[in-house]
Amino acid sequence: MHWTKNAVLWGLVSLLGASAACSCGGDTSNGGKTDAGTPGTGAVEPNVMKGRAVDSQGRGLAGVEVTAHNQFQSGTTVKTVTGTDGTYRLDVSNPIGPWLANATLDRAYHAASYRFTLASEEPATFAGNEGAIRNFTWKLTGAKQGGGTHGGIVTVYFEDPIDPANPSRVVSNSDVELSLTPDGPLVDGSTGTAVTSQVEQTPEGYGMPDVAVGRYILSARHVPQGQAARPLLIRVRNTGAYNPTVTTDFFPLTGTSQIIELNVQFP
């Protein structure tokens, strides 16, 4: 467990922190009840944050970094790593005041390194003197608490926006349909599902906004409204030759984001 402290007057911290702890009431620390459904966590304990991290199958995850951030004294954190059964325990007695928990996991997959934010069962702050149980789940898709998604983004771009069958018409990236078939297990070892969808606007451009990280075989079609669907050639953006399909992994961006970028063109 590691500590980081700001240079502040501890007398003032103690006085104001006591007030902050009082304002954190409610049911944010499980009300002192036993969390019987989570092995190894037991009952809520004063001055302790504890819990368990699991994967999408409910299995304990080792090596998850769990951090508690003191909300009164900016920059003060305590952290630890989960054990083989996914459980952890942190001392949150000092400084006093409200704390907020989060968990991240680093995972190597096909020679690339990815970082994932785990979902918390209870994202609210808690008073350190009361203690809390905070459990985390590694979700591959779905909305993140605080914005964004657990899945990666797949984007697609026409390299040449002219339709050779109708040179007067400029094609739109929004008229692309993508099909993704998992090529082996996903990043967490689970079996993925094939998906086909017309692209939509994402924070990174037109594409698919919430795809479980894995290796995929991808293909594309041009599907403008009112016209017959036509197959497209595809490649990883600005890389290699065009083909009817392309197999690729997600590219890890900064933080906990991942992306696949594609080019398409007419045969």
Same domain for 174 and 100? no
Same domain for 90 and 62? yes
Tokens of 233: 């050639």
Same domain for 248 and 161? yes
- What number is the average pLDDT over the span 214-242? 96
**% residues pLDDT > 90 (the chain):** 75
Among 137, 162, 190, which residue terminates a domain? 137
- Residue 249's pLDDT is 98
- pLDDT tens per residue across span 61-120: 999 999 999 999 988 999 999 999 999 999 999 999 999 999 999 999 999 999 999 999
Among 103, 137, 171, which residue terminates a domain? 137
- Residue 60's pLDDT is 97
Same domain for 98 and 186? no
- What number is the average pLDDT over the span 241-253? 96
Same domain for 98 and 202? no
In a domain, 143, yes or no: no
Same domain for 201 and 78? no
Among 104, 137, 170, which residue terminates a domain? 137
- Residue 9's pLDDT is 33
Same domain for 96 and 6? yes
In a domain, 145, yes or no: no
- Residue 230's pLDDT is 96
Least confident of 33-42, 80-89, 250-259: 33-42
Same domain for 181 and 120? no
- pLDDT tens per residue across span 157-173: 999 989 998 898 889 99
In a domain, 133, yes or no: yes
pLDDT band at 253 (very low <50, low <70, confident <90, very high): confident
Same domain for 116 and 164? no
- What number is the average pLDDT over the span 136-157? 95
pLDDT band at 38 (very low <50, low <70, confident <90, very high): low
Same domain for 161 and 123? no
- Residue 168's pLDDT is 87
- What number is the average pLDDT over the span 40-64? 93
Same domain for 121 and 172? no
In a domain, 144, yes or no: no
In a domain, 127, yes or no: yes
Assess whether pLDDT exceeds 70 at residue 12: no
Q: Which of 220, 219, 214, 215 is nearest to 248 (CA)?
A: 215
Taken in order 115, 119, 122, 123, is the CA torsion positive or negative?
positive
Q: What is the mean pLDDT of the chain?
A: 87
Assess whether pLDDT exceeds 50 at residue 24: no
Give the count of domains, the chain.
Answer: 2
Assess whether pLDDT exceeds 80 at residue 39: no
- pLDDT tens per residue across span 77-87: 999 999 999 99
Same domain for 37 and 100? yes
Cis peptide before 95 (omega within 30 of 0): yes
- pLDDT tens per residue across span 179-219: 999 999 999 999 999 999 999 999 999 999 999 999 999 99
Q: Whole domain around residue 91: which residue ranges?
A: 2-137
Domain harbouring 27, CATH code: 2.60.40.10
Are the CB atoms for 132 and 68 separated by under 8 Å?
Answer: no
